[in-house]
């Protein structure tokens, strides 16, 4: 970059040839759900602190949990954990040196999205006493 | 990744392996626990197996999330702010462990 001429080099064409693949989506979603779970664990800590030490804090957290926002937060947390868990197992399978074939990776990525969504529906339905 | 890249890598995988069964248990229990009233929720956490599994989920989760977010921070932040974020990330994980351990202990033995 020092001689100025270097800045006239052609740019990498990656922005023009980019296209959707489910394996790329899954890897971005793994990172996104990891961050969501980070926030979720911190919110869970507020719940358990309130429960143990501060009834007023528990009442506030509980009011949010029972609001529509609370339902969205819980459903988002459950989907994120389901996805991250299943895709995490996919990662661990790769770490064992298997599952890299493009066809396999594409199939398992779709599988993780579908299974995480089904698991979330089941957890939410059962968790709200089969009435949600 | 840090200079201790290999041990960090192993701890991230080991924590993931432990979190997998804990997460399955957590998914079965958590919605009814979170939506329960005060007395029911206290009794749920104080039940010995729940206290043990919830404590393990929080502590191993805190270690795992700290390593994971540190990796993300190192990927995206290249200025002096990187060290600030990494420090806050440490504090969040330590605070999570302390808060969870203290709360669960209180509910189990002093509640
Ligand atoms: C307790 C809740 C959890 C939190 C807060 C969490 C958080 C994170 C974060 C922030 C990352 C970094 C993502 C990245 O670098 O792109 C990560 C990575 C990872 N997580 Fe989790 N996670 C949790 C549960 C789990 C579970 C249950 C598994 C089960 C297998 C798992 C497996 C993994 C694996 C294998 C990676 C490394 C992915 C890679 O190499 O890019 N995690 N996690």
Q: What is the predicted ipTM?
A: 0.94
Q: Determine the topology of domain A21-127 in CATH.
A: 3 helical TM bundles of succinate and fumarate reductases (1.20.1300)
- The closest-lying atom of ligand 1 relative to the alpha carbon of residue A91 is 35
- Both tokens of residue B8? 């960090």
- Name the residue facing A128 among B19, B28, B31 (closest C-beta): B31
Write down the pTM of the prediction: 0.91
Is B27 in contact with A123 (Cβ distance < 8 A)?
Answer: yes
Q: Does domain B5-109 have CATH number 3.20.20.70?
A: no
Smallest Cα distance from A55 to chain B, Å:
8
Is B31 in contact with A34 (Cβ distance < 8 A)?
Answer: no
For B26-85, the pLDDT digits (tens) are: 999 999 999 999 999 999 999 999 999 999 999 999 999 999 999 999 999 999 999 999
The H-or-E segment that residue B40 falls in is: helix B38-46
Cα separation of the two ends of chain A: 60
| Every domain of chain A and the residues it spans | 21-127
| Every domain of chain B and the residues it spans | 5-109
* Chain B positions in Cβ-Cβ contact with residue A66 (cut-off 8 Å): 35
For A44-59, the pLDDT digits (tens) are: 999 999 999 999 999 9
Helix, strand, coil distribution of chain B in percent, nearest 5: 90, 0, 10
């Amino acid at each position: 970059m020092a001689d100025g001429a270097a800045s006239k080099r052609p740019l990498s064409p990656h922005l023009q040839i980019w296209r959707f693949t489910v394996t790329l989506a899954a890897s971005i979603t793994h990172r996104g759900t990891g961050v969501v779970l980070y926030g979720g664990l911190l919110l869970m800590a507020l719940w358990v602190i309130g429960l143990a030490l501060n009834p007023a804090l528990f009442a506030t957290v509980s009011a949010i949990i029972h609001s529509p926002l609370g339902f969205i937060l819980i459903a988002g947390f459950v989907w994120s954990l389901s996805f991250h868990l299943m895709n995490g197992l996919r990662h661990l399978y790769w770490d064992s040196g298997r599952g890299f074939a493009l066809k396999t990776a594409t199939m398992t990525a779709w599988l993780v999205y579908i299974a995480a969504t089904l698991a979330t529906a089941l957890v939410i339905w059962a968790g709200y006493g089969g009435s949600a | 990744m840090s200079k201790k890249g290999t041990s960090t890598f192993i701890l991230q995988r080991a924590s993931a392996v432990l979190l997998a069964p804990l997460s399955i248990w957590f998914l079965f229990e958590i919605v009814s626990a979170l939506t329960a009233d005060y007395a029911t929720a206290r009794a749920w956490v104080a039940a010995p197996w729940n206290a043990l599994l919830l404590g393990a989920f929080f502590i191993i989760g805190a270690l795992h999330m700290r390593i994971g977010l540190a990796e993300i921070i190192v990927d995206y932040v290249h200025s002096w702010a990187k060290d600030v974020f990494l420090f806050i990330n440490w504090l969040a994980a330590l605070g999570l462990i302390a808060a969870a351990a203290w709360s669960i202990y209180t509910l189990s033995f002093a509640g």
